[in-house]
Amino acid sequence: MADLDVKFDDREDRRDRGRYNRDNRGGNNKRRRDDEDDHHYTPRDDRRGPQRRRRDDYPRDGQRRGRYEEPPFPKLRRMIVNIASTAKLPEDESIEIARLLRDHYDDEDIRNQFFDVFVQLIVDQPFKIPFVAAVAFYGNQVKAEITTEAMKRVGERLQESLAAGQWREFKLLLRFFACLQPIFEEDGIFTLLGQLFDTVVDLQSANENDVVGIELVKIILLTIPYAIASGGDRFHDKANELLNSTGIVAGNTLPVEALIHPYDDDIEDTVINYHSVIGLLQQQLTAESQSGWKLACIPKFHVDAMQRTNPEDTLQATPATHVFPTFTIPSPVNPGSKPLFPEAYFSLFANQESSIVPALNDIAASLIRDAIVDTIDQLDFNREVVAKFLVDLDCYWSHGTFANRGIALDKFLQEFGNDKATYKSEDMVIDAIFSLLFKLPTPEHKLVYYHSLITQCCKAAPAAIAPSLGRAIRSIYKNLHAMDLELGHRFLDWFSHHLSNFEFRWRWAEWIDDLKLSKLEPKKAFIVAALDKEIRLSFAKRVRQTLPEEFSLLIPERLDEDNSPEFKYEKPETPYAAEGQMLLQQLRKKATHEQVQETIDRIHAQAEEQGISDVLVPSTDAFVTAICRLGAKSLSHFLSCVERGRERLVNIAQQSDSARRQIVTSVVEYWKDQPGIAVRIIDLLLNYTILAPMTVIQWVFGDHMGAGEALTESWVFEMVSNTVTKVTNRNRQIASARLQRGLPAEQVEMVDATLTKDRDNARELFRYIEDACRGLAEGAADRLIEKESSGALSAEDGQLIRAWGKRWSMVFVRKSAIEESVVGEQAVEARIKFLAAQPEPEVVELVKVDEANGAGAEDGDTAME
């Protein structure tokens, strides 16, 4: 009982600490919910919980108050939803719920509603599955129908998710059954796991690059420990047998896995080497089986708890055993609507010597990680609740799995330094969130979700989370040179966004020595880019205030002034100065097409005299720079200026490729101190098809790259990946339009033609990028060779550029391969074949999904054409 009290105090304490920023409140009560920084989410049903408890604990004048009897369903709902989150023992809670349910079991409404919540809870709140299963487990001892009904309802949902290829839900629902293993006859869940493995064998023998089988093996491996933890030693042999068969699949490496390494394995001493999730699981389980399947972290329930709490209130006979329900594994297996990939296990802290988080060979690493990750990804619609669950992580695992919340690192090392089975919960939470932020090839949700979740965790438990977060940042920063470049950019984007939520507070001073580094060093490039990104979300003067002076020098002074960037044609020495100024005047006064043409012709005449081969280049420069100047006030102003010059710009684009690239040059040059705005404008010009994707890519690698120095500029990477994403998104929309069921034949032909053409364009784009990056990576690019041999570039810098080239190359080779696996001929054909084989009922759902995508595609069209 003593430690439960501590827990409760702990909670109060955290709440106090959360109240650190009261002053920031906007003062408007209506908006209190949004403005309050220390907002703690309490689910609606939670509210009554603590109050009631308090009332029970310290009864006031009982007679005067008149006891309020909570109706049965709301009470049941509140109890099950909050199971394991209160100060009570989860075992007692499960028993109490089972009894209350038994007392009202004859009421059909209550029963139905209760099981609706019951099933949804498994899918929504993965941490609670063992506890929810315990309700069915103890229910079996008071009224076997409770268990029968629970199995029926969860089973229906399980079959549904299996048929639809919703693998995460399937895994969670399966875990519920695993936790009920002791009440099943014979092998229980192992029969189903065996069938699933047979399916894996079929899938793998049909296709050596199959990924669905990998997903299934992951599910099998993550289910075994729960079944053993509940079922006990009579299933050890079954588990070992299954492990023997999964070994081959789990130990296998697919070619595509080479593309999803978070860190370059060729570089020594980085954060973590590549481990596939299933490979690691297989090793951990094998180790666990050798040490007798302790599975220490999984909460366990005692069969005789019921008798202990209330001996006379139990069924006299021995509890019923149940036949494990039969499920149909569809053939062919539905791969699901989301593209599947093998997964890498990511951890920032696992390689450290002390056991702050479980070591890589510890099954707890995978089990706890898996549950955290599912909680985060299933509940993306309420980050406030997720943050609360994460802060309460220790409630959901067996006692002693974690040190006290918020324990300082040195104290932890002192007390648990040698204890390999006690972990620091905050570090595990941060580790898990970063694993999602850094998931390759694509994150489950938009990255900004993980940004806001970290922010939310910092609000919920600032004193506990902040130090772990600091350690995470330092560890990532230290190894930036070895990190996948796309991940480096995700980190950059998160870092700047995160700081913008916390008054830009960061101990910049500790990176001061890195300012001396060459601009080509990843660390230096990161600092420069982070400041730029901070400014984009705020403004230069503000960011400058938050920095040590040395860093402040990186921000151009001009940005402190509240005016537009200079217009180069105002300087008389600029070629075509008079014409440039004239164009600006004409645009401002909305002069006629002819008047503008007159000025442009004057530029052409002068340029021709000077022997410039493409006279459209200088005139385009003047025209676009004038538009930038006139539209400098805001993006809306810019857009209305572009509208005015649109026709001319489209004509330029059609006439000359070099003039088209000049559009990019002029925009970037005008906004050289705020490249973020240039990137945004280029994106808009792509939508107007004033620029083509290839224009941007050729500008980057042809006009702007130099000897490769531009590879270090984060905004250049941003521009290239935005452009590529625009192209690939469109292709995916077309592909999903093609997969629409019941598409008329003539439309099939049309969509197929578009898809073929655009797929080829995308391939060409990728090829161009890959060739250019490879040239720099291998040191074969002309300008790199030139600069190196002339001595303009030192040998070290040359090596740095090669390393950047390699990192760039990896990103786009991956992106290209991923697109092939989604919109490539093979992928689309396989999908068409699969859909054709589906029975009718599937249609309704599929059409609905595709309608949404189809609408998106149309929008995309108007935007692109």
Partner 1 sequence: MPAIRKNTVERLDRPSSYATSKNRRKNNRRDDDSRRDPTPEFEDKLKDATTLYVGNLSFYTTEEQIHELFSKCGEIKRLVMGLDRFQKTPCGFCFVEYYTHQDALDCMKYIGGTKLDERVIRTDLDEGFAEGRQYGRGKSGGQVRDEYRNEFDPGRGGYGRAYADEYDD
Helix/strand/coil for 276: strand
CA nearest to 101, candidates 130, 144, 62, 58: 144
Among the listed residues 3, 13, 107, 116, the single contact to partner 1 using CB under 8 A: 116
Binding of partner 1 by 120 (CB under 8 A)? yes
Residue in 385, 387, 727, 739 binding partner 1, rule: CB under 8 A? 385
Binder to partner 1 among 86, 270, 425, 500 (CB under 8 A)?
500
Pick 86 or 125: Cβ nearer partner 1: 125
Q: Which is nearer to partner 1, 650 or 852 (CB)?
A: 852
Of 166, 455, 479, 620, the one binding partner 1 (CB under 8 A) is 455
Tally the residues of the chain: 865
Per-position x/- string for 621-640, each x denoting binding to partner 1 as judged by CB under 8 A, each - no binding? -------------xxx----
Interface segment toward partner 1; rule CB under 8 A; list 5-13, 493-501, 551-559, 578-586: 493-501
Candidate residues 5, 26, 647, 748; the one interacting with partner 1 per rule CB under 8 A: 26
Count residues near partner 1 (CB under 8 A).
57
**Distance between CA atoms of 295 and 293, rounded to whole angstroms?**
6
Question: What distances in angstroms separate CA 111 from CA 117, 145, 153, 489, one per listed residue?
Answer: 10, 11, 11, 50
Q: How far is the CB of 411 from partner 1 (least distance, A)?
A: 32
Integer Cα distance of 641 and 586 in angstroms: 12
| Residues between 503 and 532 with contacts to partner 1, criterion CB under 8 A | 503
Peptide bond into 693 cis (omega under 30): no
Q: How far is the CB of 443 from partner 1 (least distance, A)?
A: 12
Residue 413 interacts with partner 1 (CB under 8 A): yes or no = no
Ramachandran bin of 405, using left for φ above 0, alpha for ψ from -120 to 50, beta for the remaining angles: beta
In b/e form, how buried is each residue of 463-502, taking b as 16+ CB within 10 angstroms?
Answer: bbbbbbbebbbebbbebbbbbbbbbbbbbbbbbbbbbbbe
Name the minimum Å distance from CB 72 to partner 1. 18
Applying the rule CB under 8 A, the residues between 817 and 846 that interact with partner 1 are: none
Least CB distance from residue 448 to partner 1, whole Å?
A: 4
Residue 339 vs 779, nearer CB to partner 1: 339
From 369, 451, 568, 806, residue interacting with partner 1 (rule: CB under 8 A): 451
- Which member of 99, 175, 238, 497 binds partner 1 (CB under 8 A)? 497
In the complex, the smallest distance separating the C-beta of residue 592 from partner 1, rounded to whole angstroms, is: 28
Q: What is residue 505's three-state secondary structure? A: coil
Footprint on residues 460-489 left by partner 1 (CB under 8 A): none
Q: Is 121 in the site for partner 1 (CB under 8 A)?
A: yes
Task: State in angstroms the smallest separation of the CB of 536 from partner 1.
Answer: 5
Q: Is 680 in the site for partner 1 (CB under 8 A)?
A: yes
Nearer Cβ to partner 1, position 89 or 537?
537
538 binds partner 1 (CB under 8 A): yes
Segment near partner 1 (CB under 8 A), from 26-34, 274-282, 362-370, 473-481? 26-34
Is the Cα dihedral 667, 672, 674, 675 positive or negative? Answer: positive
Asked if 81 interacts with partner 1 (CB under 8 A), we say yes
Nearer to partner 1, 91 or 169 (CB): 169
Q: How far is the CB of 503 from partner 1 (least distance, A)?
A: 7
For partner 1, the closer of residues 386 and 710 by Cβ is 386
Q: Pick from 536, 802, 807, 815: which binds partner 1 (CB under 8 A)?
A: 536
Q: Which residues are registered as beta bridge partners of 428?
A: none
Q: Shortest CA distance to 342 belongs to which of 390, 280, 299, 398?
A: 280
Near partner 1 in 27-66, by CB under 8 A:
27-28, 30-31, 33-35, 37, 43-44
C-alpha pair distances (Å), 17 with each of 39, 460, 465, 771: 12, 9, 12, 54
The three-state (H, E, C) secondary structure of 761-815, written as one string: HHHHHHHHHHHHHHHHHCCCCHHHHHHHHCCCCCHHHHHHHHHHHHHHHHHHHHH
- DSSP letter string over 833-864? HHHHTS-TTHHHHHHHHHHHHHHHHHHHHHHH
Residue 675 to residue 659: CA distance in whole angstroms: 21
Nearest to 657 by CA among 620, 629, 626: 620
**Is residue 501 involved in binding partner 1 (CB under 8 A)?**
yes
Tell me how far, at minimum, the Cβ of 682 lies from partner 1, in Å. 13
Q: Which residues contact 694 (CB under 8 A, 6 or more apart)?
A: 761, 764, 765, 768
| Cα distance between residue 764 and residue 757, in whole Å | 11
Burial of 513-549, coded b for 16+ CB within 10 Å and e otherwise, reads: eebeeeebbbbbbbbbbbbbbbbbeeebeebbebbee
- Answer yes or no whether residue 384 interacts with partner 1 by CB under 8 A: yes
Contacts with partner 1, residue ranges (CB under 8 A) = 24, 26-28, 30-31, 33-35, 37, 43-44, 81, 116-117, 120-121, 124-125, 160, 379-385, 445-449, 451-452, 455, 493, 497, 500-501, 503, 536-539, 542, 634-636, 676-677, 680, 852, 855-856, 859-860, 863
